[in-house]
Structure 1
C-alpha cells in the first residue's frame, strides 16, 4: 500500500500500517490523521489556512475512521472551519482552522527570519532499530542537526513517501501537516522507551502557504519540573519559513 489511508466512501477511511506510531502497534502517529483532517478542510473550497489547532481526545486507532466538517463562522474576509475524526461514533481528534481570504501584501511582506539549510546539505537521519517501521518508515528524514533519539534541539527536513489518501495527490499543506507533529519527536529530551512525552494538542500558524514536497522543522522542546512540557518549531519549506508550531506535552516516567 502506498498511502496512509484507503478511501471507503461516505467520508470513511481505512488506516494502513504506515500510520502506526511510537506508542504501540494499535495507535497512530498524529501526523497522518492531522493531514487527513486538513485534506477535509481544504475540500470545503477554502484553499488556504492561516491557523489550525488540533485537540487530541484519545489515541487514534489503526481502524476505519470517519471524517466530518463544518463551516462554523462563514464570512467574506475570514472564516472559521472545523473537522472531526471519529471511530465508532466517538471523536478521537478535532481540528479548528481559520481561513483568511487572500490579498496582495507583497509590498509590506517581511520579518520572516532566516532560511533553514536546504535538504541538499542535510544527511539521512539515524533511525533506531526498535522503531523502524510504520509511520517513521513512511517518511523520508534528513538531519541538518540533531534528530530523533539525539536529545535536544533539532533542525530536520521530512517528506512523506506515501500519499495521504490512496488515489489522491497530496497538496503541500497536507504534506506539511503529515509531518509537523514530529517537532516534539525530533527535539525530544527523553528516551521514549523510558518516558512518555505525548502531546495533547497541536497548533500551527502559517504566515504563507507552503510549496513543494519538503517540510523543515527548526524544533526545540522544554520540559518543566511538574510533568508538563512544550515543543515548538519554526516550520519551513525550501523557500524559507512558513510559520510556527506548538505542542503541549504530557510527560511521565513509564
Structure 2
C-alpha cells in the first residue's frame, strides 16, 4: 500500500503519513490526515475508526476458530484528529457464540462503541449459497468522481473505481475501493479491517441529495458478514432511501473479487444545512 506524496507549497515533496493511525502504545493511537472526512477536515470519516474498533475486537483471545458474523458501530459523536484510546472485552463468553464489545474514546469522551457476535466456524462448503454474477474487474472501471467541496483526506487515501451509477449524481451506485495506506503503521490490515475501512461509505456512494444543501449523516453502521474478504478490493453496491420525517436508510451489498460476502446498513439523519 503506497501513495505518492504531493508537492509542498515551496515545491518540495511533502512526506505523507504511512497509515491512518500511528500507534502510541497501550491501546493509544494518533490519527493522521488520511482519516479526515469529506464533511470537515477536523473530523474523521468513520471508515478508519470502524476498522480500528474491529481490530480491537479481533484481538480478543479465543480458544476456538471463529469469525465476526455481525458488527454494529454506534457513532456517539465526531471523532477528532487527536489521540484516541481503544478498549475491548468479551461481554458474554460462550463455547460457540460470544458477544464482544469495544469503545473508542478521545480523552474522557467516548466517540464510538462497537458490539459484535463472534461465532465458531464449521465446514459448510457443500451447502454454501451460489455465487452471484461477477462485477467488472477494478481496472476495467473508471476512477470515481466526488461532489465538489468534499475534503480529500480519507477519500484520497483510498483508491476508488466506479462500477455503476455516478457518485456526483443522485441515486444508487456501485464502487470498488481499496486502501492506499495501512490502517495502523507497521501492520498489515486484516481482511475484516479492510472491509470496515470501506463499509461506512455506503451513504456517501449512494447519496440522493445535494451535499451542499443537505446533511445525510449516519448515526450507526451494522455489517453482517457471511465470509471474510479474499482480496484487497472491496465492493459497495449501495442505495439510499429517504423517509418523510428526516430519517433515511443506506443499504449496501458488500463484495470482493470472488463475489458478495455480506451486507451493510446505516441509519441516516437527514436535514437541511
TM-score, structure 1 as length reference: 0.96
Work out whether residues 38 and 152 of structure 2, in 8 Å CA contact, stay in contact via their aligned partners in 1.
no
What is the CA–CA distance in structure 2 between the aligned matches of 1:45 and 1:122, rounded to whole Å?
40
What secondary structure, in the 3-state scheme, does the structure 2 residue paired with 1:159 have? Answer: strand
Residue-by-residue CA offset, 1:162-196 (whole Å, 9 max, x unaligned): 11000111111111100111011010001212110
Select which of 123, 140, 161 maps to 1:121.
Answer: 140
Q: Which has the larger radius of gyration?
A: 2
The answer for the alignment partner of 1:152 in structure 2 is 171
What is the CA–CA distance in structure 1 between the aligned matches of 2:19 and 2:165, rounded to whole Å?
28
Q: How many residues align?
A: 254
What is the CA–CA distance in structure 2 between the aligned matches of 1:213 and 1:126, rounded to whole Å?
21
What is the CA–CA distance in structure 1 between the aligned matches of 2:187 and 2:147, rounded to whole Å?
31
> Is the counterpart of residue 37 in structure 1 residue 56 in structure 2?
no
Work out whether residues 40 and 151 of structure 2, in 8 Å CA contact, stay in contact via their aligned partners in 1.
no
Structure 1 unaligned residues grouped into runs of 5+: none
The answer for the alignment partner of 2:67 in structure 1 is 48
Structure 2 unaligned residues grouped into runs of 5+: 1-16
What is the CA–CA distance in structure 2 between the aligned matches of 1:215 and 1:147, rounded to whole Å?
17
What is the CA–CA distance in structure 1 between the aligned matches of 2:252 and 2:269, rounded to whole Å?
18
What is the CA–CA distance in structure 1 between the aligned matches of 2:207 and 2:152, rounded to whole Å?
19
What is the CA–CA distance in structure 2 between the aligned matches of 1:152 and 1:45, rounded to whole Å?
42
What secondary structure, in the 3-state scheme, does the structure 2 residue paired with 1:49 have? Answer: strand
Q: Report runs of 4+ in structure 1 exceeding 3 Å deviation.
A: 111-115
CA displacement at 1:128 relative to structure 2: 4.2
Cα distance 1:91–1:179, how it changes in 2: closer, same or farther (>3 A)?
Answer: same
> Is the counterpart of residue 24 in structure 1 residue 43 in structure 2?
no
What is the CA–CA distance in structure 2 between the aligned matches of 1:79 and 1:151, rounded to whole Å?
40
Work out whether residues 211 and 237 of structure 1, in 8 Å CA contact, stay in contact via their aligned partners in 2.
yes
Select which of 93, 96, 99 maps to 1:77.
Answer: 96
The answer for the alignment partner of 2:259 in structure 1 is 240
What is the CA–CA distance in structure 2 between the aligned matches of 1:121 and 1:171, rounded to whole Å?
26
Cα distance 1:132–1:25, how it changes in 2: closer, same or farther (>3 A)?
Answer: closer
TM-score, structure 2 as length reference: 0.90
